[in-house]
Amino acid sequence: MPTPNDKQEIQAGDFSYVKDPLYRSVYANNAMFGSTVFDFAMTFAEILAVNPDEHKIVAEQKVRVVMSPLHFKLFSQVCAQNVKNFEESFGTIPIPPEVKPEPSAT
């Protein structure tokens, strides 16, 4: 079990980040979103199998992240800026028509 001295410190601006002993990196190619008046929740999953004949997809849920509305709004703005920066450097990320998200009902 790692001790507090084993934590790697990462400096970023005015923040000092240390990794929790339970920190892990996961791959996700699927995300589900939900919200209440109090928070936003994102559940990230990895698609394991696709069976087009049965119209069935199997995805293994990896992690759920819950944020306050303010943190989620700031997070979404940072994500949008990162996509913009990526596309300026490497070109447009094409989204095939069959995977575009459905418009929200609001």
What is the per-residue pLDDT across 30-88, written as a single tens digit (0 to 9) for each? 999 999 999 999 999 999 999 888 889 999 999 999 999 999 999 999 999 999 999 99
pTM of the prediction?
0.72
Domain contains 49:
yes
Does residue 5 sit in helix, strand or coil?
Answer: helix
**pLDDT at residue number 106:** 46
pLDDT of residue 12 exceeding 70, the answer is no
**Domain, as residue range, for 36:** 10-68
pLDDT of residue 27 exceeding 90, the answer is yes
Q: How many domains does the chain have?
A: 1
Domain contains 75:
no
- Residues 6 or more apart in contact with residue 86 via CB below 8 angstroms: 93
